[in-house]
Chains A and B, each alone.
Chain A
Amino acid sequence: MNTQRAQHLFPALCVLLLAGTVTFLSFTREPADAFLFPRMVSVVMLGLAIWNFYRAASGLSKVGSGFTVDLIKTIAPGLIVLVLYVFFAAKYLGFYLSSLITFFVLFSLYDPASHKEPRVWVKRLVISVVFMLVIYALFTLLLKVQTPRGIFR
């Protein structure tokens, strides 16, 4: 089995499992009237998911660039920061502190400028703070959005 076929098999299997679960739940949950439309959709979805899985298994599914090891290595740090920010830091550290840290970390991770020059670090910090001030002006002062304060409660 070549890499491309193996790569297409995984998402096809995930979608098939999801379609199977949705179909199972649609036909087993009550009240039946509330699941009438979901049943129709889930049957079509399951049919398409089986077709998609068959195409992936037989190597016919070729659309999409898939992933390379280099790509995964490049996006992994950013993805980890994204997940930590959204699912943990935003709630517990508060929106503004966690966003400031995330902005600074992401900027530093993917900035082509050298990590050895102190001037570059200062520039990154200043840009991060200025951006967060703009966000504060837009969301807290203009839109009056009350964001989670986390440790600053």
Chain B
Amino acid sequence: MEFMQYFGGVFEPLSFALLVFGTVGGLILGATPGLSPTMAVALLIPFTFQLQPTQGLILLGAAYTATVAGGAVSAILLKIPGAPANIATALDGHEMAKKGQGTKALHVSFLASGVGGVIGVLLLIFLTPILAKWALAFGPPHLFWMAILGVTIIGSLDSKSFVKGLLSGCLGFWLSMIGYDDIQGAQRFIFTDALTGGVNVITALIGIFAIPQVIEMFAKGRKQVVVSAIKVEKQSLADSLKLLFQNIKALSIGTVIGSIVGLIPGVGGQIAGLVAYDQSKKFSKHSEKYGTGHPEGVIAAESANNAMVGPSLVPLLTLSIPGSPTAAVLLGGLLIHGIFPGSDLFENHPQVAWTFINSMLIGQVLMVIFGIWIASYAARVAQVPSAIMAACVMVLAVFGAYSVQQSMGDVYIMAALGIAMFFLEKFGFSAAPLVLGLILGPIAESNFIQGSMIANAQDGPLPYFLFGPLNIFLIALVVLSIAYSFVMSRRQVAQNVALQS
């Protein structure tokens, strides 16, 4: 129960103010279609430079939690999911709103998100120390394989094409090697002066996640998109609470599925929401009502996508392996403050780790309160023209990238990576494995070099890196993740051929 000692830190005036700001800002950004949680968190990182690590993480964690939940507002009132995690919410949520139950849908959505989120963070609290202690047994070869595993899992699961997923991971590894080599000081792949200092992770994150979305907003052109939000009337919160507890089965299914899905690296909130919606429908006595404005659908989907948030941070905080693109961005937020996740985080910086985790717990409660309060106003933000959003995000990205090291080189790299990512995404390459490769590349390389030195003094690199139970287990996971993705992709091709014929 170590975490109980650090609750005080969350209620320090500045920390609490940042928590409230992150929650409210996250809800508004989440409600805005086109602004993903990952991009919102990436754009916020430059604002954490002047803050203490704990305060910076509180801001990023609050924004992450709230953007996922905030996406439900536009899903319910506009039928436009704010983020992929809210796709399943739109199915019944919007139908409820059309029937005049918009407020009820918003209430149950935030209440279910809160319950799912709290359970998810509790799982994070109880699982993290156990796994962090286990991680102490990890030596250089195991950390090397863990870094490789992080990229292969995300490359396999997060991409529609596993060749392109793995290729994206390799591109990320290559980007991480640009600059001066840490040990020999040799120049590597420096084609221009802007690359002398290497590719900064924060700069790359801003470019890769913000610029493609800006260009996607350009793609909408000057078309007048008339999106009218359904007006909501005031309704009793007590009735919504009653409705939530009447649908406890959907809430439980959503929370359990979200928590499990969150623990698996690479499987995001979209999968959590859709699987929970599907399973809740299968177990429901009123499955025929799904899709017609049934509250069970909203409850299952929203409890799942927020229950996923806490567990998705377990592999990040214990093994330095981000389980999702947003977790990768949070890792960037940790690294800029010189803090490395894993056992070191809990041994040497327990106040940072636990205050951050506790803030996520309190953040869930704030998210419910503010969500219910500002939901109908947030829908108005969702109607802001994409021309303004594109211009805002672009200017913020440029200022954010520059403020990392006050270098124009970073701005050039940010824009170049962002434009390249937009083109690559159009051909099935994925941003998540590329980012993971960029972040995990230095971890893989330093452990490979360190391991090679130790191995040369022992039995040689081959037995050191390939033998031993933990090595074999991790290598098996790497092979399994690639094989699984390969089989799934073959099956998909076979299905497409069958459909075409």
- A residues adjacent to B (C-beta < 8 A): 7-8, 11-12, 15, 18-19, 22, 25, 29-31, 33-38, 40-42, 44-45, 48-49, 51-52, 55, 60-67, 71, 74-75, 77-79, 82-83, 85-87, 90-91, 95, 99, 102-103, 106-107, 109-112, 127-128, 131-132, 135, 138-139, 142-148
Closest to B167 in A: A48
* Chain A residues near B164 (CB-CB < 8 A): 52, 63
Pair B399/A22 contact, Cβ less than 8 Å: no
CA distance A143 to B49 in the complex (A): 8
User: Of A7, A22, A29, A109, which contacts B427 at CB under 8 A?
Assistant: A7
- Tell me the residues in window 201-221 of chain B with beta carbons closer than 8 Å to chain A beta carbons: 211, 214-215, 217-221
Pair A86/B412 contact, Cβ less than 8 Å: yes
Q: Given the interface contacts A41-B174, A41-B177, A52-B164, does A86 sit within 8 Å of B390 by beta carbon?
A: no
- B residues adjacent to A (C-beta < 8 A): 46-47, 49-50, 160-161, 163-164, 166-167, 170-171, 173-174, 177, 181, 183-184, 186, 188-189, 211, 214-215, 217-225, 385-388, 390-392, 394-396, 398-399, 402-403, 406, 408, 411-412, 414-415, 419, 423-429, 444-445, 448-449, 452, 493, 496
* Chain B residues near A85 (CB-CB < 8 A): 394, 398
Q: Could you show 18 A-B contacts with beta carbons less than 8 Å apart?
A: A34-B184, A34-B188, A36-B448, A37-B177, A38-B177, A44-B166, A61-B428, A64-B160, A66-B426, A75-B215, A77-B218, A85-B394, A109-B387, A110-B221, A110-B387, A111-B222, A135-B395, A148-B408
* Chain B residues near A25 (CB-CB < 8 A): 189
Pair A11/B427 contact, Cβ less than 8 Å: yes
CA distance A110 to B392 in the complex (A): 13
Q: Given the interface contacts A35-B188, A143-B49, does A110 sit within 8 Å of B220 by beta carbon?
A: yes
CA distance A143 to B419 in the complex (A): 27
Pair A79/B218 contact, Cβ less than 8 Å: yes
Pair B395/A131 contact, Cβ less than 8 Å: yes
Pair B385/A145 contact, Cβ less than 8 Å: no
Closest to B47 in A: A143
Q: Given the interface contacts A63-B160, A82-B419, does A112 sit within 8 Å of B385 by beta carbon?
A: yes
* Chain A residues near B214 (CB-CB < 8 A): 78, 82
Return A39 CB to nearest CB of chain B, in Å. Answer: 11
* Chain A residues near B414 (CB-CB < 8 A): 86
Closest to A55 in B: B163
User: Of B219, B221, B222, B395, which contacts A103 at CB under 8 A?
Assistant: B395
Using a Cβ cutoff of 8 Å, how many contacts connect chains A and B?
A: 188
Closest to B159 in A: A63
CA distance A94 to B223 in the complex (A): 32
Return A7 CB to nearest CB of chain B, in Å. Answer: 7
Pair A61/B408 contact, Cβ less than 8 Å: no
* Chain B residues near A12 (CB-CB < 8 A): 427
Pair A145/B399 contact, Cβ less than 8 Å: yes
CA distance A85 to B222 in the complex (A): 21
CA distance A13 to B403 in the complex (A): 35
Pair A71/B219 contact, Cβ less than 8 Å: yes
Pair A90/B398 contact, Cβ less than 8 Å: yes
CA distance A38 to B181 in the complex (A): 11
Closest to B160 in A: A63
* Chain B residues near A71 (CB-CB < 8 A): 219
Closest to B223 in A: A112
Pair B181/A34 contact, Cβ less than 8 Å: yes
CA distance A64 to B425 in the complex (A): 7
CA distance A62 to B426 in the complex (A): 11
* Chain A residues near B425 (CB-CB < 8 A): 64
Which of B166, B211, B223, B387 counts the most A-chain CB atoms under 10 A from its CB? Answer: B387
